């Protein structure tokens, strides 16, 4: 079992920055890939970013160049630094973990077994 807890969401203005964090606890040993997804009401969960066990990072097209995912292994924490935020970035952001996720499936929600409760990000124009 793995528990994930997100933090760092909030209300900001367009152009501002936010940093989300996700702390993992429980059975943290393993080849975990950590991902961030987001979801708005009535829409499917959208891939935002992921970092594989190897350290490789991957981003959704809409956030590439603005968001950065990083991992602090000692603290079992993954961060999502979000810069130049836009109103369309508003969503509930979810942290997710999957063991042994292959590269071709890094953007797929089904690749991730554990999910956090989500944190709201609202960007006003």
Per-residue pLDDT of the chain (125 residues; tens, 9 = 90+): 899 999 999 999 999 999 999 999 988 788 899 999 999 999 999 999 999 989 999 999 999 999 999 998 777 899 999 999 999 999 999 999 999 899 999 999 999 999 999 999 999 99
Q: CA 5, 6, 9 angle in degrees (round to 5)? A: 155
**Could you tell me the two tokens for 39?**
């979801």
CB 13 within 8 A of CB 33: no
> Considering only CA atoms, which of 62, 64, 117 is closest in space to residue 90?
62
Position 29 scores a pLDDT of 80
Position 31 scores a pLDDT of 85
The terminus-to-terminus CA distance of the chain in angstroms comes to: 40
Position 12 scores a pLDDT of 98
Q: Which residues contact 11 (CB under 8 A, 6 or more apart)?
A: 122, 123, 124
Position 36 scores a pLDDT of 98
Position 27 scores a pLDDT of 83
Position 94 scores a pLDDT of 98
**Could you tell me the two tokens for 36?**
């961030």
Q: How many CB atoms lie within 10 A of CB 41?
A: 6
């Amino acid at each position: 079992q793995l528990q994930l807890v997100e933090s760092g969401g909030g209300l900001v203005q367009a152009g501002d920055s936010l940093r989300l964090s996700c702390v993992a606890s429980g059975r943290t040993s393993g080849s975990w890939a950590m991902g961030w997804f987001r979801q708005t009401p009535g829409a499917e969960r959208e891939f935002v970013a992921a970092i594989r066990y190897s350290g490789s990072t991957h981003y959704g097209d809409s956030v590439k160049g603005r968001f950065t995912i990083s991992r602090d292994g000692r603290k079992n924490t993954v961060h999502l630094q979000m810069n130049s935020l836009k109103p369309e970035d508003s969503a509930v952001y979810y942290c997710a973990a999957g063991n042994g996720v292959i590269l071709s499936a890094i953007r797929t929600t089904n690749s991730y077994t554990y999910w956090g409760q989500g944190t709201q990000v609202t960007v006003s124009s």
